[in-house]
Chain A
Amino acid sequence: MIALLFYIGAAVCLFVLMYALARPHRAPVEGIANQFVAARGSLQTLQQGLLPTNLLNRIFDRRDLDYIDGQAAPDIRRLFLSQRQAISLMWIRRVRSEILNLLHFHRSHSRFHTNISILTEIRLALDFAGLLFVCRILETIFSWRGPYAAPRLVQSVATAASRLCTASEKSLAFLKVPGVSAFRGDSTPGNAAV
């Protein structure tokens, strides 16, 4: 009976995939600079804007709530919680969207290259899928239970996202031009060095 279910399951999976194949989907226009620039931007946003520990502490530190509990009226507490919830939802949605950008870039990039091992590819695919799934769970938790309901999950999302950023950074390494910083207009107008 289990074997029968297995074969029927395989056939049903094939029908579902056939439907997915038949559905129209627009592939991205490959090779355009936008994709690389967007991926680079997502990487920087994640590493410098969304994942630093001080920002996570700022948003999810429970001491802020404890302070409000000790000092302010219930109205203020409610206002604080709703605003913090909105911020935490914005944070997780933004993290998810940047991870999606990186995933799209990774897929567009890795399909051309045979130097990535198949195991690494599968592991990365699972990591991306897992992280996106956990982001959705976290979003649901924030919506239902507020920003302080799952501090460990926030930490694990941040760690997993950092790990994926490191992997994506390797793919984008060639966009780092060491000499470019020398040509940036960092010098003051009256102190032209060239």
Chain B
Amino acid sequence: MFKRYPIFYLYMLCVFVVSAGLYVGASRNPQFYIQWYWPTQLITLVIGYGVIVDVSQKSLHAYPGAERAARNVGFAIFFLVFLWIAVLFAWDPNWSLGRAVSRLERDLRLVEALFLATTIIAVRYYRIELGRNLKGLAAGMSLYVGVSLLCLALFTFIGHPFDFTWKMLQSGSYTVALGIWTYALWNYDPNPNVPPGDGSGGYSVLADQTREKLKALGEHLGGKGLP
């Protein structure tokens, strides 16, 4: 399974190393956690992007039209959200690093959520059937990203009184997501029913060949003189 979904397992490893590192560091020095929480979150978030892009590519790779549509819309969303973030950062008079980082994470989670949503919409719209592995990866990521987005948005507005609920919700959603991933990736389950593309010997080619044969037959039987 590691060979089939390397980015996902890298993500798992990264989350584990970051969480364990923060836990050990915080037990020795309480400032360590506060100092390192946001930078390490950004690293796992970036690898999380990799997982989402990987899920999108693996879900749609047999369908070039659907894949291109999802990719274009996804990148358009990516560009628009980053433009929006840049404008907000540039015009914010009360700019501070801590606030900026938590907002940046929230906005990056928003992009993740929209990218995931685009992939799922493409899968549903084009009626593409996914195997248990990819379904589980997408479902687990959706749950975790959705809850994280919700928590970060509420934290930006409520502030530190929301800390305890945030921790519970985020770690709870991650535990549930781990359960989903464990079930989904227990064994390899490829996407079912992947058809050959129309471009590689599909109906267009068959129709062309039939047309040629009918033309030849028509000429053999008397060409244009037929009634």
Partner-B contacts on A (CB < 8 A): 3-4, 7-8, 10-15, 17-18, 20-22, 25-31, 33, 36, 104, 107-114, 116, 118, 121, 125, 174-175, 177-180, 182-183, 186-187, 193-194
Q: How many A-B residue pairs have CB under 8 A?
A: 149
Q: Report which of B65, B135, B221 forms a contact with A112, defined as CB distance below 8 A.
A: B65
- Min Cβ gap B220→A in Å is 11
Residues A193 and B124 in contact in the complex (CB < 8 Å), given A13-B117, A111-B66, A116-B65: no
Interchain CA distance A177-B208 in the complex, whole Å = 9
**Contact status A179-B135, CB under 8 Å:** no
The answer to whether the Cβ of B21 comes within 8 Å of any Cβ in the partner chain is no
Q: Which one of B114, B139, B210, B211 contacts A18 once the chains associate, using CB atoms below 8 Å?
A: B139
Is A186 within 8 A of B227, CB to CB?
A: yes
> Is B202 part of the contact surface with A, judged by Cβ < 8 Å?
yes
State whether B127 touches A10 (Cβ < 8 A): no
Interface code B107-119, partner A: CB below 8 Å = 1, 0 otherwise?
0001001101100
- Interface membership of B203, Cβ < 8 A: yes
Least CB distance from A192 to B in Å reads 10
Residues of B close to A20: CB separation below 8 A:
120, 124
Nearest chain B residue, comparing its CB with the CB of A104 = B127
Q: Contact at B198–A112, with CB atoms within 8 Å?
A: yes
Contacting pair A113 B64 (CB below 8 A): yes
A177/B214 contact (C-beta < 8 A), A11-B153, A17-B117, A112-B64 known: yes
> Is A14 within 8 A of B146, CB to CB?
yes
Q: How many angstroms from the CA of A130 to the CA of B207 in the assembled complex?
A: 32
Interface contact A18-B68, CB-CB below 8 Å: no
Q: List, sorted by A's number, 22 A–B pairs whose CB atoms are closer than 8 Å.
A: A7-B106, A7-B153, A8-B150, A11-B146, A14-B142, A15-B142, A17-B121, A18-B120, A18-B142, A21-B120, A21-B124, A27-B128, A28-B127, A31-B203, A104-B127, A107-B126, A111-B126, A112-B202, A118-B69, A179-B217, A182-B218, A194-B221
CB–CB B147/A11 < 8 A: yes
Given contacts A31-B196, A177-B214, contact A194 B226 (CB under 8 A): yes
Output the least CB separation between B140 and chain A (Å). 9
Q: How far is the CB of B62 from chain A (nearest CB, A)?
A: 9
Chain B residues within 8 Å of A, Cβ to Cβ: 63-66, 68-69, 72-73, 106, 110, 113-114, 116-117, 120-121, 123-130, 135, 138-139, 142-143, 145-147, 149-150, 152-154, 156-157, 193, 195-199, 202-204, 207-208, 210-211, 214-215, 217-218, 221-222, 226-227
Asked if B198 and A14 make an inter-chain contact with CB atoms under 8 angstroms apart, the answer reads no
Residues of B within 8 A of A175 (CB): 203, 207
The answer to whether B207 and A10 touch across the interface, beta carbons within 8 angstroms, is: no
If over half of B's interface residues share one DSSP class (helix, strand or loop), that class is named, otherwise mixed; here it is helix
Residues of B within 8 A of A112 (CB): 63-65, 197-199, 202
Shortest Cβ-Cβ A-B pairs, 6 listed: A7-B153, A30-B195, A27-B129, A111-B66, A18-B142, A111-B63
Q: How many Å lie between the Cα of A27 and that of B126 in the bound state? A: 9
* Contact yes or no, B110 A7, CB < 8 A: yes
CA distance A182 to B227 in the complex (A): 6
Partner of A11, one of B128, B149, B211, B214: B149
Give the complex CA separation of A111 and B194 in angstroms: 12
Q: Please name all residues of chain A whose beta carbon is closer than 8 Å to the beta carbon of B124 when the two chains form the complex.
A: 17, 20-21, 25
Considering only CB atoms, which chain A residue lies closest to B216 in the complex? A179
Asked whether, in the complex, the Cβ of A111 is within 8 Å of the Cβ of B65, the reply is yes
A14 to chain B: closest residue by CB: B146
